[in-house]
């Protein structure tokens, strides 16, 4: 610490300023011309956010038309009642108005209280003095009233002479009658009834936001600590956007985590309040508040429902809308998707939006297996090279064959990509749009959709192992896997699959556990909560992660006619079914295979070696299998991971005794 003595004249004291360390702030200087011309401040857009894109404009018009139409009809149906009220109140109002003018003209109010006091005190002298004052004031007022009457009469005559049509007179009379009725009605009895039963949310104000954030107890003590950068609170789509900065080091996610409390503080339903991290820094919040809860809003038109729609899985395509009614898009290539939610949450239709994107890409092969058995995708069956529906053995084994085919296809495609790379056609070692479109390249995109996939995994545990490998290997090879399930617990959908699927869409779920099973541990705490949605009512709404910014998305839901038109358009684009049906793949038994690859005299084998041997034995089934996958698959049969001697070292693997014991257990159970 240094003490800086500063010299002043005699009348001043010496001030000792404390300074810690050296000077760090840049010296103040005037702005130069160069500073001014190089300013890059963000300019505020000329067109307001609510009118900037066609969807927002349509939403505003739709809302205004809906609201205006309802209000007009409401009042129209009650017009006889209003007419009766007007008939009663208008004469009363006319009388009140005339009396008020007269009372003013005679100066009735002039020192009224004083005169009353003088009268009560029996003081005629004072009373007369006060009354003379009243008379004096009143004299001039009669002139004003007289002049006003003459002016009015002259105006009426003038208007008549100028040729006012009768409708004009009627309009003036109606206006006067309504004015009189308004003046004559009792203060607590409005002439028109209220259109809404509760106070409709019409405007988000800075005060509401500040008070709500202070009430969250996240460290904001004073409402004034919240600042709103330009353009302040404004309309954005069908709602209001408030962008605000939190004070100090408080991050926006603390507000997101308390979305429920924020909604409570604003006195609004949770799905009307949508906080997000703002664009400028982590302490900025973009709070969007809809005019209505999102579950009650309509949905903009889906671009893929157009007559000329055509997609490419390599480009972003819309599949849903967010809370602000903005389309949400995804690039299907290199993407695997897990869709979860309770019955009636809209999983099948959500999966269908992705299938629609694939269907409208004429190079993409479709394979769909639905294990609900209600034929949600039946209309798409003619577009599919493989289609299965039901929970019978045939449908389930077809589902398994699809995965086995995909795994074998990964192997074949790996070879094809290698050759393409050698030719310089696949520099990054993955499928490109050109390769995918090239006839005979064998690298066209494949879209595999398995609805209610837990049925398949429960019936064929090995299908789950294969699906995991397809999810891992197929991405770069143009194989897209979409899994929809009601239950995502470890028995129904193994965690390994959930882990390697990046895009997860959680529709309505019952609680935090289910929410996190689909979206990943900690999602609920980070504010990604699909529990706010109710099945049926909020069908199609869900929280999506791994597709850009995490947030709420509602799937597009075309009506049956539009859905049929989309399928017809896809059929027209394709001309023929792309790809071939899967062949029946011989079911393999990993336990038996593991025992078969043990060499005579071997007491055990490390997991990595076992994985290699299995891949050699049946490449169509085990290609790409890893040591961990083999360990986890065999653990289901009760095979332990034990030390196996390799040379002088002990390495974890499967022992013959453990494999045999597992086989015996199985045989006993089968009996």
Ligand X SMILES: Nc1ncnc2c1ncn2[C@@H]1O[C@H](COP(=O)(O)OP(=O)(O)OP(=O)(O)O)[C@@H](O)[C@H]1O
Known binding positions for ATP: 341-348
Please give the residues from 348 up to 377 whose contact with ligand X meets the rule CB under 6 A: 348-349, 372
Of 478, 540, 604, 624, which lies in the binding site for ligand X, with binding defined by CB under 6 A? 540
- Provide the minimum distance between the beta carbon of 46 and ligand X in the complex, in angstroms, as a whole number: 35
Residue with tokens 């799937």: 555
Task: Identify the DSSP state of 585.
Answer: P
Closer to ligand X by CB, 325 or 555: give it: 555
CA angle (358, 363, 366) in 5-degree steps: 45
Of 295, 363, 441, 555, which lies in the binding site for ligand X, with binding defined by CB under 6 A? 555
CA-to-CA distance for 448 and 480, rounded, in angstroms? 6
Could you say whether residue 454 binds ligand X (CB under 6 A)? no
Residue with tokens 């009766």: 84
Could you say whether residue 341 binds ligand X (CB under 6 A)? yes
Closer to ligand X by CB, 250 or 539: give it: 539
Of 278, 346, 474, 494, which lies in the binding site for ligand X, with binding defined by CB under 6 A? 346
Q: Contact region for ligand X (CB under 6 A) — 103-111, 411-419, 550-558, 579-587? A: 550-558
Of 486, 496, 515, 633, which lies in the binding site for ligand X, with binding defined by CB under 6 A? 486
Q: Which CB contacts under 8 angstroms, 24+ apart, belong to 189-194? A: 189/85, 191/82, 191/85, 191/86, 191/89, 192/75, 192/78, 192/82, 193/74, 193/75, 193/78, 193/81
Beta strand ranges found along 309-375 (DSSP E): 317-321, 327-330, 337-340, 365-370
Closer to ligand X by CB, 349 or 457: give it: 349
**What single string gives the DSSP state of each residue in 65-109?**
HHHHHHHHHHHHHTHHHHHHHHHHHHHHHHHHHHHHHHHHHTTTT
Closer to ligand X by CB, 460 or 541: give it: 541
Residues touching ligand X, count (CB under 6 A): 15
CA-to-CA distance for 628 and 408, rounded, in angstroms? 20
Q: Contact region for ligand X (CB under 6 A) — 91-99, 112-120, 219-227, 344-352? A: 344-352
- Provide the minimum distance between the beta carbon of 357 and ligand X in the complex, in angstroms, as a whole number: 15
Choose among 266, 242, 338, 318: nearest CA to 530. 338
CA-to-CA distance for 236 and 324, rounded, in angstroms? 8
Q: How many CB atoms lie within 10 A of CB 169?
A: 13
Q: Contact region for ligand X (CB under 6 A) — 76-84, 166-174, 338-346, 643-651? A: 338-346
CA-to-CA distance for 53 and 236, rounded, in angstroms? 10
Q: Contact region for ligand X (CB under 6 A) — 216-224, 339-347, 393-401, 605-613? A: 339-347
Closer to ligand X by CB, 505 or 524: give it: 505
- Provide the minimum distance between the beta carbon of 204 and ligand X in the complex, in angstroms, as a whole number: 26
Contact between 402 and 385 under an 8 Å Cβ cutoff? The reply is no
Of 367, 444, 554, 569, which lies in the binding site for ligand X, with binding defined by CB under 6 A? 554
CA-to-CA distance for 495 and 582, rounded, in angstroms? 27
Helix (H, G, I), strand (E, B) or coil at 317: strand
- Provide the minimum distance between the beta carbon of 418 and ligand X in the complex, in angstroms, as a whole number: 40
Closer to ligand X by CB, 250 or 337: give it: 337
- Provide the minimum distance between the beta carbon of 454 and ligand X in the complex, in angstroms, as a whole number: 11
Q: Contact region for ligand X (CB under 6 A) — 254-262, 267-275, 342-350, 578-586? A: 342-350
CA 185 to chain centroid, in Å, comes to 47
Could you say whether residue 74 binds ligand X (CB under 6 A)? no
- Provide the minimum distance between the beta carbon of 54 and ligand X in the complex, in angstroms, as a whole number: 21
CA-to-CA distance for 24 and 302, rounded, in angstroms? 56
Q: Which residues make up each annotated binding site?
A: 341-348
Could you say whether residue 347 binds ligand X (CB under 6 A)? yes
Q: Which residues bind ligand X (CB under 6 A)?
A: 341, 343-349, 372, 486, 539-540, 554-555, 557
């Amino acid at each position: 610490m240094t003490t800086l003595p500063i010299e002043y004249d005699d009348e001043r004291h010496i001030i000792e300023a404390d300074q810690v360390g050296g000077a760090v702030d840049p010296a103040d200087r005037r702005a130069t011309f160069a500073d001014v011309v190089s300013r890059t401040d963000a300019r505020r857009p000329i067109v307001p956010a609510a009118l900037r894109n066609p969807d927002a404009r349509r939403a505003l018009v739709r809302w205004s038309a809906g609201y205006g139409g309802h209000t007009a009809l409401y009042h129209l149906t009650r017009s006889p009642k209003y007419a009766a009220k007007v008939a009663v109140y208008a004469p009363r109002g006319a009388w009140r108005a005339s009396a008020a003018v007269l009372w003013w003209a005679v100066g009735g109010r002039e020192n009224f209280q004083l005169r009353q006091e003088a009268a009560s005190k029996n003081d005629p002298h004072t009373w007369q003095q006060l009354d003379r004052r009243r008379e004096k004031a009143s004299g001039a007022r009669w002139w004003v009233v007289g002049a006003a009457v003459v002016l009015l009469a002259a105006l009426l005559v003038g208007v008549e002479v100028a040729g006012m049509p009768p409708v004009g007179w009627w309009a003036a009379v109606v206006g006067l009658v309504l004015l009189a009725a308004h003046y004559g009605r009792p203060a607590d009895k409005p002439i028109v009834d209220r259109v809404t039963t509760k106070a409709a949310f019409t405007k988000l104000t800075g005060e509401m936001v500040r008070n709500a954030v202070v009430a969250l107890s996240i460290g904001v003590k004073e409402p004034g600590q919240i600042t709103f950068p330009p353009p302040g609170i404004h309309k954005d789509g069908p709602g209001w956007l408030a962008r605000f900065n939190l004070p100090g080091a408080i991050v926006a996610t603390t507000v997101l985590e308390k979305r429920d409390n924020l909604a409570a503080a604003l006195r609004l339903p949770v799905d009307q309040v949508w906080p997000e991290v703002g664009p400028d820094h982590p302490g900025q919040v973009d709070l969007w508040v809809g005019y209505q809860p999102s579950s009650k809003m309509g949905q903009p038109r889906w671009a893929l429902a157009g007559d000329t729609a055509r997609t490419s899985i390599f480009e972003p395509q819309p599949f849903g809308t967010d809370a602000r009614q903005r389309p949400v898009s995804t690039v299907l290539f290199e993407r695997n998707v897990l869709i979860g939610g309770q019955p009636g949450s809209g999983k099948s239709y959500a999966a269908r939006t992705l299938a629609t994107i694939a269907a409208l890409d004429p190079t993409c092969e479709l394979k769909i297996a639905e294990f609900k058995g209600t034929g949600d995708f039946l209309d798409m069956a003619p577009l599919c090279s493989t289609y299965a529906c039901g929970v019978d053995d045939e449908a389930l084994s077809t589902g398994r064959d699809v995965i086995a085919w995909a795994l074998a296809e990964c192997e074949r495609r790996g070879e094809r990509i290698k050759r393409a790379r050698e030719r310089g056609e696949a520099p990054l070692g993955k499928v490109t749009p050109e390769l995918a479109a090239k006839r005979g390249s064998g690298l066209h995109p494949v879209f595999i959709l398995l609805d209610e996939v837990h049925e398949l995994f429960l019936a064929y545990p090995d299908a789950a192992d294969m699906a995991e490998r397809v999810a891992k290997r197929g991405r770069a090879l143009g194989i897209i896997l979409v899994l929809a399930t009601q239950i995502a617990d470890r028995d129904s959908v193994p965690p390994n699959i959930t882990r390697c699927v990046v895009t997860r869409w959680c529709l309505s779920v019952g609680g935090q556990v289910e929410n996190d099973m689909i979206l990943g541990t900690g999602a609920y705490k980070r504010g990604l909560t699909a529990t706010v949605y109710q099945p049926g009512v909020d069908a199609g709404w869900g929280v999506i992660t791994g597709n850009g910014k995490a947030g709420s998305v509602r799937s597009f839901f075309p009506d049956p006619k539009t859905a049929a038109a989309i399928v017809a358009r896809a059929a027209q684009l394709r001309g023929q079914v792309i790809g071939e049906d899967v062949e029946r793949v011989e079911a393999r038994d990993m336990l038996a295979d593991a025992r078969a690859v043990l060499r005579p005299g071997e007491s055990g084998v490390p997991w990595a070696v076992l994985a290699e041997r299995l891949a050699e034995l049946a490449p169509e089934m085990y290609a790409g299998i890893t040591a961990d996958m083999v360990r986890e698959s065999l653990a289901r049969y009760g095979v332990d991971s034990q030390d196996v001697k390799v040379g002088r070292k002990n390495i974890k693997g499967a022992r013959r005794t453990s494999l045999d014991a597992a086989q015996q257990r199985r045989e006993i159970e089968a009996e």
